[in-house]
Amino acid sequence: MKIRIMGTRGKIEPKAESHVNHTGFLIDEKILIDVGEEKYMDHRPKAVVFTHFHPDHAFFVLDKKKFSPKVPVFGPEAHELVPNLKVISGPFEIDGYRFNPVPVIHALRLKSLGYVIQKGQKKIFITGDVAWIRKQTLLKFQTWTW
């Protein structure tokens, strides 16, 4: 699994030249996790998965533009700007990549998910923004069979 880190900047002014772009991770040039910059869609991902809908992870939120690409879009909760969103309610698969959602605590007014992503024997955990993960969640996570 190759992870291209497209950006990591939060909702702050850019201070370092190599940290100008907002959040996005591209997995094997196929699956885009978060779309902090509109230009990330130029990579023509086969699917998009959101960790949460803050503007630094979902560029369209600030301008209140609709986001409706012609590929499947997944996220932790329904959003008025993403009409074709598939709301995640459990593990799911995209093109051979298994996504196990992990609820994380980040903001009071919106749901946030991290994902353990597995393909074959390779796994990666992408958390998005996280302040805390409940102990119960971690215990469940430890006992999951893959």
Candidate segments 12-20, 27-35, 47-55, 118-126, binder of Zn ion by CB under 5 A:
47-55
Measure the CA–CA gap between 65 and 97, rounded to whole angstroms. Answer: 29
Instruction: Work out whether 129 is an interface residue with Zn ion (CB under 5 A).
Output: yes
Taking CA 1 as the corner, what is the angle to CA 37 and CA 85, rounded to the nearest 5 degrees? Answer: 45
Cα dist from 44 to 32, 47, 77, 146, whole Å: 9, 9, 23, 29
Question: How many residues belong to the site for Zn ion (CB under 5 A)?
Answer: 2
- Burial zone of 13 (CB within 10 Å; 0-12 exposed, 13-18 middle, 19+ buried): exposed
Candidate segments 12-20, 37-45, 69-77, 121-129, binder of Zn ion by CB under 5 A:
121-129
Q: Residue number with the shortest CB distance to Zn ion?
A: 54
Question: Given candidates 22, 54, 79, 111, which one binds Zn ion under the rule CB under 5 A?
Answer: 54
The mark string for 4-43 relative to Zn ion (x by CB under 5 A, - otherwise) is ----------------------------------------
Tell me which residues touch Zn ion (CB under 5 A): 54, 129
